[in-house]
Amino acid sequence: MTLPLSGITVVDLTHVLAGPFCSSQLQELGARVIKVERPGLGDDTRAFPPFVDGFSAYFAGLNHGKQSIALDLSTPEDRRIFEALLDQADVVLENFRPGVMEKLGYGWDTLHASRPKLIYGVVSGFGHTGPEAGKPAYDMVVQARGGVMSITGEKDRDPVRVGASIGDIVAGMYLVQGVLAALITRAQTGRGQKIDIAMLDAQIAILEHAVALTTATGVPPGRSGGRHPTITPFETFHAEDGLFVIAAGNDSLFAKLCTALRLGPLYEDPRFATNPARCENARLLKRLIEAITIEQPRKHWIAVLEAAGVPTGPIQNVAEALADPQLLSRNMLVDIEPAPGRPKFQCAGNPIKMTELPEHKTRPPAPLLDGDRQAVLDWLGMADATVG
């Protein structure tokens, strides 16, 4: 079985999250990813907790199946190795500050002139153009500046960061899309291109409803806690034993909800007959619904509503989600194969399901720092001048 990216080689200079998330997805799709790391230190996430017998589970989850070679690009010998890697690469990825690769002599203009088929993917906080292109950024900075934090949290309380690092992860996803599109274009034209992904841009790109509200009304949305700002009922509700969610996204689903909860013809009441009316009376509607749902546990109401065809579900913590039979049935928790004597890790499976993409229950191990140096040099047909 041929994997979608079989035969594609990615030289990956990225570190921490956005770039490694991208190259991890490319590796899942069959690309060979050669991770170029700093000698002695490697990727910062090698030192990120949690640890299992001294090895970072965080690093393993993002870098399983890749190869590692440590190169000091200030030395002639390692530059020779790096340039040999570039000669074999289809894609090079980096997430340094703008200008760093140019100082090393490996910026886009230089590489494109010498290797016109090479695809150059870069992810940074603010992109490679604009007045703030050179500024550093982390996930929280772009969540804050990109508007995401302004709509996250409870009304009349301080904004909060989204729990997952979506500033990095979404940018990494867009970089994957850019690489795949560039590979298709190269197959047609024979030429590579530069992909410039800014984390800040990516935050704006995911604010679908918030952007529409702001541009249409001139008023930016605020925080609405667990409820949708313009659809009701579409939020959390109390049951006897805690919270669960109901998402009745249209009038038909609201009528089904009323019937299932034995609320009578509430869906015909002018206060609730349309979504705009329900939004105006959202607090009253929530009280009416919770007067009923508080009498039984969440499991009871989820079963009742699912039988009625109303979207609903429990609020699960991460451990509960990782044990969810639906997720497990789709291979969304996998083992990372340890090397002999190494501890066992687990990580999220591949959410991209394709008929020709095998569903393995395990993943290859994450590389030791510089652990694949000899294998990479043998593949390049080079001797290691640092030995002996």
Active site residue ranges: 228
- The tokens describing 224, both together, are 């609405």
Bridge-based pairing of strands 312-314 and 345-348 is unpaired
8 residue type, one letter: I
Give 351's contacts (C-beta < 8 A, 6+ positions apart).
332
ω before 233 within 30° of 0 (cis)? yes
330 residue type, one letter: R
- The tokens describing 273, both together, are 């007959």
Q: Angle at the Cα of 56 (from 52 to 60), degrees rounded to 5?
A: 110
